[in-house]
Structure 1
């Protein structure tokens, strides 16, 4: 009997919530009427997308309540409301999800209140009848379980009304994917432009300046060769030094494009070299990465730069003296995890994307753009006090 009363209590809360949502939907009818009039005369067309978003939130709340009661999620499928006002209005009026939610809203106003009010007299009857039926006769409760069935009925009807069709779900997923790829492409283009500007700056300020100076030294040496061979030899010696410095800087630029160490040692060897030169006590663990075929060059380069950026920023900003890098090979994925034991508080939401509480770096932003260009994901966990963990998943055809 006690368990029956508890389930009936939970069912009553579920039904009263449904009734409250039904009353809210009744008040929402005024908003819908205002939105319809404003849209028809086009003066307040901007209200329509916002009203549709409110409707989606109400339907989403009901989906969560149904999922909490049944233990089975109710999927949703909506076209994204983005772009110019005219595009958002067209999407809001053309999305089948809008009309599905409106249908649910209208029907739910009736059965939500009806089922909730039906549960109240069942409590009175159930406590009297079931109390005698169970207490004196030792039988099973027969009235209070009806309240649970009412909650089941509310969940079944709501699920049927809110469940999108397979075609609409597929269309909404495609639209969401297109929007995601548009953002990813913009980030990849921005990252590519920044990389080109960096290479141009390095070549202009470093290698080009040294080659100009080298050309001048060689010219002076040619002029001085007949008159002062000793001075010409000294100028040629200086020119040789500048050639070596220019080559060093050129190698640095090349390493920024694609590190040769990746080609020579592979990803694990290159990461171990990074760890050894990072200034931190870094433990490197590789699980299956060295077995079988290598990852594509673009994936290896992205993973390498993720580790390099994370370790560099950890050394600069986190205050940590040790870190750990983990590379794991999975089916269709390369996962990279970099953990430092520093002060935490990485500003993951800031445009700068700084690590370890620093506000001026661009490490996380660069990592996100580089990973997004390969359709990967980045997850950062950095509570104040540490540790900071950067997890990256890169799609990979091994």
Structure 2
């Protein structure tokens, strides 16, 4: 069955990207119907949006023909997902406070579907406490976010506030469409609402010189899936990720790093948290020095140049041993190729964390889409069957919810 999104294009320079988004979605078999705000018409035209979507473009709440058929109600409920891109500071504020002064905001108030916002604004507007309060209000209501990205802006400033790229928004739309996008505000259960989760994922890269580094095969898929699963249960999730090619899970705050030292610093800055999950495959060692220029072959010697290594910070052990502000639940991952359970037991005691999730990575786990996880606690060892990483993440999220809330 063909999926359809209702795309609300706000008034910002990033509106031009929404035209590309319509094309990207069409290539993925997802139809678009467009509401163009008055501000949006300053940047793109109804003709261009209509030509790309293949449908009428809506803009006027007081259109007699449309509103005779209760257009704002029909528009708000005929799509599988509502997407606001660009979501300006003004649109976010109106949505958070339930204002309904035009077709776009009236539709947002009337919809029974989840809304995915792609924010776009000046960095100062994005960082303003009022904007952050509005975003948290919308998240608490079950709404979704993708972006913003960090970079240069049309205003000449640099920082967070650039609208996510069309491909990234399309990825987030596809992820949202996989789950139930209907909002039942009376029955929606969010057991982890009010709880904070901090997760590390992916590999780290330890530079040897400007073009080489030490790393591993971690894809980040399991950590990203766990972040998504905890966000689905209502947790406020911060995901600290090494270099991976994955879209940020919906409703998750993502922080990108490269090295183990950067990851350690980002973890310390993101604390306190109710649960810390160390999924990242952090390099145990790093070069003692990073050459400023590319290391060349020495024709006078037969072997490679010596590489002196020093130990990286132990992030899991550091968090486990915190005397103040230690998360209530600290969980590590043990990626093993042999004696999986025995090594996991030893790691849990050595790191002094509460749980260890063990998995055998001798097969296709690193980079693959499936996993067999064994949950090792102080008292029990529970092995789950081979599952796709999203399903495995939901099982772990359910156990975390039970531990933190009792249900």
Q: Considering only CA atoms, is the larger Rg found in Structure 1 or Structure 2?
A: 1
TM-score over 0.5 for the alignment?
Answer: no
TM-score, normalised by the number of residues in structure 1: 0.26
Higher helix share: 1
The structure that is strand-richer by fraction is: 2
